[in-house]
């Protein structure tokens, strides 16, 4: 079997060689922390800006680590640097042996020290104890937004990544601030050396703060495989370059690579299966009556409704009409504004029409797609229409209390299956919801309350969902399997992909290449070391995979609860559907989607 890499790092550190080259210091304060927000950031950044400091790692609390090139002057230089800073009377530092520094901190310090390097286009930034990378193509709004990828080595030695946005202070009116106000954010400038450096507040009109503009989430593609240039702009391309840079920079002193497993079960989704699902969906959609309801009612909404009607008719060849109110015997699509337009006034999204299947779409979304011959916009529109119909059909199932998106009996489950989730309300109170599906596809959904169920059943829910990583539970007879989120992600064969693209080979989507390069992100796979738990992930559909893979595949863990049998392998087929994620596999058994939609409607 092909191997599957994960983001778990194997770190080979030659501590003796590293100690001969570098010194490590621990900086502490006698207070519980270095100061709130801006104060702590200023101390860490001021020390990071010292030329003799190679890197700093700081999360929170009353201490952080620094790495310096070995020198007899280090203690003197560090003492002088701290003395120059205001309010540092309670701060001390000490030289520490590398063997006493946690392994993930050592790796992070080495990573943070990389810096920019000549001949390459990536920018490496050690800012406030964290490590950010940016690619010039990620810069938005004519340089007013700097999109970066933060790389963090966790205590479990996992390489975690997150998108972080630095926005120009000139766009502060476009930023929505919460408890932390604008003047509490550190400011940075991108210097001539392409390195972010902290500056005094208000000292430069071109400064950035680390904050996203309101209602706009920055995104970086996970992987693109049609050219070396496009690959290098993605998360995996940047991670690949960063690992290469690390291993080249430290040579025999330090080397990192990804761990892997090569024994697993696989559930592939064939082209035939995809076509069968698409055909069922198209047939269901064509038989439905669609009612469009305009809840915007302004000078442009009638044009948007008419555009949507024509596109639905063309796309699904179904019965579409425009009415003033929803109907019980139809799928109802309600045109509304985006959420922020209803701040401090009645939101039509909150209106409940008993017994009606409702799906909302914003006029802003439709207007964005109108009057455009752009092929990408047409693709986006078709995807939107499919998504609207898929969501609406699920809501229709919730009204009828019967699964119609698939033929449930084809799964051959002889007994009832129960799927359960925990939902926190606005007051952080936990509610437990369960969906019971019979062998023929009929189902019921109910909230389990302490007053309605036996005490031991309710306490069982409380016990299971006390762990915040629990995604949900599946119950089969007396056996309960619990699904957990983990921080594990799968990594495609990025070194091989890079080598192939560098050689000019960009035909990577054939069967042979998929099996060699992409087993970590395609189809559904599970693996286990024992009889009581397993891990699984759900990737993209391997058959006919696209050149752009937008997101990583997260690994989830399933445990048999207490003395239960592990039966979840038989649930994997409930993820081999394309209607939940609009053309891609779902990441949990699809009945959880029904539960989420039910809860969303119930708590409105």
Whether 604 shows a pLDDT value over 80: the answer reads no
- The answer to whether the CB of 1 falls within 8 A of the CB of 78 is no
How confident is the model over 422-445, as a mean pLDDT?
Answer: 93
Whether 290 shows a pLDDT value over 90: the answer reads yes
* Dist CA 290 CA 418 (whole Å): 32
> Closest by alpha carbon to 134, among 126, 142, 146, 144?
146
pLDDT of residue 457: 75
pLDDT of residue 117: 53
pLDDT of residue 37: 58
Q: What is the CATH number of domain 274-400?
A: 3.30.379
pLDDT of residue 119: 44
Whether 222 shows a pLDDT value over 80: the answer reads yes
Distance of CA 137 to the CA centre of its chain: 21
pLDDT of residue 564: 94
**Domain limits of the chain?**
12-100, 110-261, 274-400, 411-602
Q: Look at phi and psi of residue 523 and say left if phi exceeds 0, alpha if psi is from -120 to 50, else beta.
A: left
CA 272 → CA 94, 265, 276, distances in Å? 65, 21, 6
> Closest by alpha carbon to 96, among 82, 109, 85?
109
Helical residues (DSSP H) of 191-344, grouped into ranges? 228-231, 235-250, 271-286, 301-316
Contacts of 368 (CB under 8 A, 6+ apart): none
Whether 567 shows a pLDDT value over 90: the answer reads yes
More confident residue, 38 or 468: 468
pLDDT of residue 373: 66
DSSP state of 441: S
How confident is the model over 123-127, as a mean pLDDT?
Answer: 88
Whether 409 shows a pLDDT value over 70: the answer reads yes
pLDDT of residue 88: 82
When the pLDDT of each residue in the chain is averaged and rounded to a whole number, the result is: 89
Whether 22 shows a pLDDT value over 50: the answer reads yes
* Dist CA 539 CA 484 (whole Å): 17
More confident residue, 351 or 455: 351
Asked: is 12-100 a CATH 1.20.1740.10 domain? The reply is: no
Distance of CA 333 to the CA centre of its chain: 29
* Dist CA 105 CA 476 (whole Å): 44
- Assign 250 a pLDDT band (cuts: 50, 70, 90): very high
């Amino acid at each position: 079997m092909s191997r599957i890499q994960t983001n778990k790092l194997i770190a080979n550190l030659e501590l003796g060689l590293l100690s001969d080259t570098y010194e490590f210091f621990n900086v502490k304060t006698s207070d519980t922390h270095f100061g709130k927000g801006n104060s702590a950031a200023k101390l860490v950044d001021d020390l990071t800006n010292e030329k003799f400091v190679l890197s700093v790692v700081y999360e929170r609390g009353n201490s952080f680590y620094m790495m310096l090139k070995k020198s007899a002057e280090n203690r003197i230089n560090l003492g002088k640097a701290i003395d120059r800073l205001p309010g540092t009377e309670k701060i001390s530092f000490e030289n520490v042996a590398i063997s006493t520094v946690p392994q993930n901190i050592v790796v992070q310090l080495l990573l943070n020290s990389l810096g920019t390097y000549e001949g390459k286009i990536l920018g490496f930034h050690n800012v406030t104890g964290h490590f950010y990378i940016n690619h010039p193509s990620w810069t938005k709004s004519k340089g007013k937004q700097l999109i970066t990828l933060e790389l963090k080595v966790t205590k479990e030695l996992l390489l975690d990544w997150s998108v972080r946005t630095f926005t120009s202070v000139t766009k502060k009116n476009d930023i929505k601030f919460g408890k932390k106000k604008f003047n509490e954010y550190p400011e940075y400038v991108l210097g001539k050396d392409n390195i972010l450096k902290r500056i005094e507040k208000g000292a430069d009109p071109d400064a950035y703060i680390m904050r996203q503009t309101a209602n706009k989430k920055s995104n970086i593609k996970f992987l693109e495989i049609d050219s070396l240039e496009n690959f290098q702009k993605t998360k995996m391309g940047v991670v690949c370059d960063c690992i290469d840079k690390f291993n080249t920079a430290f040579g025999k002193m330090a080397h990192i690579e990804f761990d892997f497993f090569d024994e697993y079960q696989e559930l592939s989704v064939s082209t035939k299966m995809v076509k069968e699902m698409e055909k069922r969906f198209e047939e269901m959609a064509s038989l439905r009556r669609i009612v469009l309801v305009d809840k915007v009612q302004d000078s442009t909404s009638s044009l948007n409704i008419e555009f949507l009607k024509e596109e639905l008719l063309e796309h699904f060849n179904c019965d579409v009409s425009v009415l003033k109110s929803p109907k019980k015997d139809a799928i109802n699509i309600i045109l509304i504004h985006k959420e922020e337009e209803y701040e401090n006034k009645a939101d039509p999204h909150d209106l409940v029409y008993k017994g009606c299947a409702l799906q909302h779409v914003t006029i802003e979304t439709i207007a964005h797609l109108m009057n455009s011959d752009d092929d990408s916009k047409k693709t986006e529109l078709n995807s939107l229409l499919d998504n609207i119909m898929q969501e609406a059909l699920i809501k229709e199932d919730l009204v009828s209390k019967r699964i119609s998106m698939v033929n449930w009996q084809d799964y051959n489950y002889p007994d009832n299956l129960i799927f359960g989730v925990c939902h926190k309300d606005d007051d952080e109170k936990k509610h437990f919801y369960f969906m019971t599906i019979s062998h023929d596809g009929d189902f019921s959904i109910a909230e389990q309350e302490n007053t309605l169920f036996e005490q031991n059943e309710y306490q069982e829910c409380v016990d299971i969902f006390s762990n915040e990583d629990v995604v949900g539970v599946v119950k089969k007879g007396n056996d309960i399997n619990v699904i957990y989120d983990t921080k594990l992600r799968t990594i495609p064969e990025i070194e091989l992909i890079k080598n192939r693209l560098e050689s000019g080979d960009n035909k990577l989507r054939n069967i042979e290449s998929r099996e060699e390069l992409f087993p970590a992100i395609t189809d559904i796979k599970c693996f286990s070391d024992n009889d009581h738990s397993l891990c699984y992930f759900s990737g993209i559909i391997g058959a006919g995979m696209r050149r752009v893979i937008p997101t990583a595949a997260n690994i989830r863990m399933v445990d048999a609860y207490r003395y239960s049998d592990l039966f979840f392998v038989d649930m994997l087929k409930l993820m081999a559907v394309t209607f939940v994620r609009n053309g891609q596999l779902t990441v949990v058994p699809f009945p959880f989607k029904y539960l989420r939609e039910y809860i969303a409607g119930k708590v409105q």
